[in-house]
Amino acid sequence: MTAAPDDRQSVEQAAFFYRGPSQVIADGVVFLPSFGTCTAFLCDDRILLVDTTVAQVAPRALDDLRSNHSQAPIETIVYTHGHIDHTTGAETFLADAQARGHPRPRILAHRDLPARFDRYRLLAPQNDFINRVQFNLPETAHPFSNANLVYPDDVYSEALVTTVGGERFELYHARGETDDETWVWCPARRVLCTGDTFVWSSPNAGNPYKVQRYALEWAQALQAMAALRPLHLLPGHGPALSGEDRIQDALLTTAAFLRSIHDQVVAKMNEGKWLEDILREIDYPPTDKPWLRPIYDHPEFIARNVYRLYGGWYNGDPADILPAHSGDIARELVGVCGAEPLLARARALRDAGDLQIACHIADFVRKGDPDNRDAWLLWRDLFTARIGQETSLMARGAFHSAVREAEARLKELGG
């Protein structure tokens, strides 16, 4: 299949925005590489569909399937997890069944998936907001408020065997990116559908904007997948991967990457260390494989999430257990030091290449002296520079939001 691209731009494109025509991966296995992907298993005169992609893309995927591959009824749809880029296309496939006079497809998922949908409904405006930050989307984007969530018809707990057109499919649950994950194994064709357990980037096991992820169980799931020795791996995002040895390498190096971060965080927690020291001391494993590049999540975020899973939120600084607001602290500091010396020091740090500390110093001034134009100008320039240096899309999302806020403040302040 598609060779692993080697520069950042093309990896990003392949991993997250790849939409190609359908591909026949093995006999009767149609891969629809959308955002996220769908896979149709043609089984005699029936279809099993793994994931439904996102609502906006689903009509194209359906049209491709129907025009180029099969008119058969979709008997079963499996959701690999509840994320909207994998589930909101369901209505398109259900409408197709109705229009063709086919029986309604049965939707299968893990038992924790409906609770996820309930939470998306409860927190739709918050999820809209946080997705606009994470993905640098315009104010008009409301992906969760506009989502049509089709709940599964049947759920299972640990594993489920289902047959479609006489063919056996094995569904396995594992917690990883989400708590409601399913990966699908088709033993007769040795095809593995990983869902987002494999997405051609450093695992999304640390997302700073979202709920808990599960690095260790994720690693264990990857090892369980590898033990089946798949011939084809169909990921939740990005191109298919074929070849037994390449797949072993991809699954097992990803598992080792997650385990390394997990085990180091646990060891340092057991030494009585606080999070910021753990983050600084970790020997992060290499990310030089095409499927481990930190283009989406970031290894440091994964370490934070391991700590969050096992520990509390207290950071070890007694001033922070019942803290003042950061704006009040900044006002005091600016009152004592003056805005100008702080900004001068931040510029000097920037010029010396230390954008990280420069941002912290500038942060005191933009909070402690919110009408200071120079502080906002520097804030904007610092994060514009960091956007250019950072590979992690999630980190860049926060940097973009800093630039947007600075531009809005500068407009308000005029001059």
By the criterion CB under 5 A, which residues form the site for Zn ion?
36, 83, 85, 196, 236
Strand residue runs (E) in 12-73: 23-26, 29-32, 38-43, 46-50
Q: Which is nearer to Zn ion, 196 or 297 (CB)?
A: 196
Report the SS3 class of residue 357: helix
Kindly state the smallest distance separating residue 199's Cβ from Zn ion, in Å: 7
Q: Which is nearer to Zn ion, 196 or 390 (CB)?
A: 196
User: What's the CA gap between 395 and 216, in Å, rounded?
Assistant: 23
Kindly state the smallest distance separating residue 236's Cβ from Zn ion, in Å: 5
Q: Which is nearer to Zn ion, 83 or 380 (CB)?
A: 83
- State residue 327 phi and psi, 5-degree precision: -65, -40
Q: Which is nearer to Zn ion, 54 or 346 (CB)?
A: 54
Kindly state the smallest distance separating residue 358's Cβ from Zn ion, in Å: 34
Q: Which is nearer to Zn ion, 236 or 238 (CB)?
A: 236
Kindly state the smallest distance separating residue 203's Cβ from Zn ion, in Å: 12
- State residue 156 phi and psi, 5-degree precision: -140, 170
Q: Which is nearer to Zn ion, 83 or 298 (CB)?
A: 83
Strand residue runs (E) in 130-270: 154-156, 159-164, 167-174, 181-186, 191-195, 232-235, 241-242
Residue number closest to Zn ion, CB atom = 36
**Beta strands across the sheet bearing 154-156:** 23-26, 29-32, 38-43, 46-50, 74-78, 106-110, 154-156
Kindly state the smallest distance separating residue 83's Cβ from Zn ion, in Å: 5
Kindly state the smallest distance separating residue 82's Cβ from Zn ion, in Å: 10
Q: Which of 124, 64, 115, 119 is closest to 93 using CA atoms?
A: 64
> Which residue bears the tokens 């510029």?
347
